[in-house]
Amino acid sequence: MAELTTVARPYAKAAFQLAQSEGKLAEWSSMLALAAQVIANAEFAAYVARPTLSAKDQADALLAVISDQLNEQGQNFIRQLAGNKRLAALPAISGLFDELRAQAEGAVDVAVTAAFAMSDEQQTAMARVLTEKLSRQVKLTTAVDASLIGGAVIHAGDLVIDASVRGKLGKLRATLNT
């Protein structure tokens, strides 16, 4: 996975710089997400990975599916990726692009996994506190995992806050075992 991210990073940065200079971050984000979704399809990925297909044929195959939803620069981007044998990196490119976009827009995706369903008021309060703490606009998504016993685990980019009972019990167990 790290290697794919390393390969994808320069392409994501190039696409981001182009999209940002033209004020088309949302458009590029959706174009890359669509292309990544098609490439992530196992049958399609197997089709374009055939050694008998040239880079042009690979690009043409992908563009035949999505060209009506890509602008000219997006189509050229796909051709460039195919020419460099990097179509498989599209999901990673899309993810990195979205990270760069969120960073530029001063936003962060935060995933909260709680032991119990959070009410709308709790979600609003959590988003407000996290917005203040992270100094960025928070896009909150929630999930329920009863195995946490109580509390929550918060993922915001590289930051992980484990305020769950399961996490505290795990720390206690590690302390007692040492």
Q: Please tell me the distance from the alpha carbon of residue 137 to that of residue 21, in angstroms, as a whole number.
A: 22
Query: pTM, whole model, 2 decimals?
Result: 0.68
pLDDT average, residue stretch 81-94: 94
Instruction: Please check the confidence at residue 1 and state whether its pLDDT lies above 70.
Output: no
Judge whether 164 and 152 are in contact, CB under 8 Å.
yes
Q: What is the pLDDT of residues 33-72, one digit of tens each?
A: 999 999 999 999 999 988 899 999 999 999 999 989 999 9
Task: Name residue, tokens 């669509």.
Answer: 34
Order of strands, sheet of 152-156, starting from the edge strand that comes earlier in the sequence: 137-144, 107-114, 152-156, 159-162
pLDDT average, residue stretch 18-29: 94
- What is the reported pLDDT for 40? 93
- What is the reported pLDDT for 4? 83
C-alpha closest to that of 39 among 90, 74, 111: 90
Instruction: Please check the confidence at residue 108 and state whether its pLDDT lies above 60.
Output: yes
Judge whether 95 and 32 are in contact, CB under 8 Å.
no
Q: Please tell me the distance from the alpha carbon of residue 17 to that of residue 67, in angstroms, as a whole number.
A: 22
pLDDT average, residue stretch 74-88: 94
Query: What is the 8-class DSSP label of residue 68?
Result: G
Q: Please tell me the distance from the alpha carbon of residue 153 to that of residue 176, in angstroms, as a whole number.
A: 23
Q: For residue 178, what pLDDT band results from cuts at 50, 70 and 90?
A: confident
- What is the reported pLDDT for 134? 87
Q: What is the pLDDT of residues 122-177, one digit of tens each?
A: 999 999 999 998 888 898 999 999 999 999 999 987 789 999 999 999 999 999 99
